[in-house]
Amino acid sequence: MNMMATARDGRSQNSHPSAMVKELLDIADYIASLRDAIAILRANELTRDRLPMVHEELSEVVAATAGATNSIMSTAEAVLALRDGPGYRDAVEAKIYDIFEACTFQDITGQRIAKVAEAMSQLEGRLARFSAAVKARDAAGIDEIEIDRRKRNESLLLNGPQMGGPATAQDAIDALFA
Partner 1 sequence: MALDLSMPILVVDDYQTMVRIIRNLLKQLGFEDVDDASDGTAALARLKGRKYGLVISDWNMEPMTGYELLRHVRADEGLRTTPFIMVTAESKTENVIAAKKAGVNNYIVKPFNAATLKSKIEAVCGA
User: Could you list the residues that contact partner 1 (CB under 8 A)?
Assistant: 66, 69-70, 73, 76-77, 80, 156-162, 166-170, 172-173, 176-177
Nearer of residues 5 and 156 to partner 1, judged by Cβ: 156
Q: Which residues contact 10 (CB under 8 A, 6 or more apart)?
A: 19, 20, 23
State the minimum distance, in angstroms, from the CB of residue 159 to partner 1. 6
Nearer of residues 13 and 170 to partner 1, judged by Cβ: 170
Nearer of residues 11 and 149 to partner 1, judged by Cβ: 149
Nearer of residues 18 and 170 to partner 1, judged by Cβ: 170
State the minimum distance, in angstroms, from the CB of residue 61 to partner 1. 15
SS3 per-residue string spanning 78-128 = HHHHCCCCCCHHHHHHHHHHHHHHHCCHHHHHHHHHHHHHHHHHHHHHHHH
Other C-beta atoms closer than 10 Å to the C-beta of 43 total 12
State the minimum distance, in angstroms, from the CB of residue 162 to partner 1. 7
State the minimum distance, in angstroms, from the CB of residue 88 to partner 1. 19
Q: State how far the Cα of 23 lies from the Cα of 4, in Å rounded to an integer.
A: 9
* Rama region for 165: left / alpha / beta (φ>0; ψ in -120 to 50; rest): left
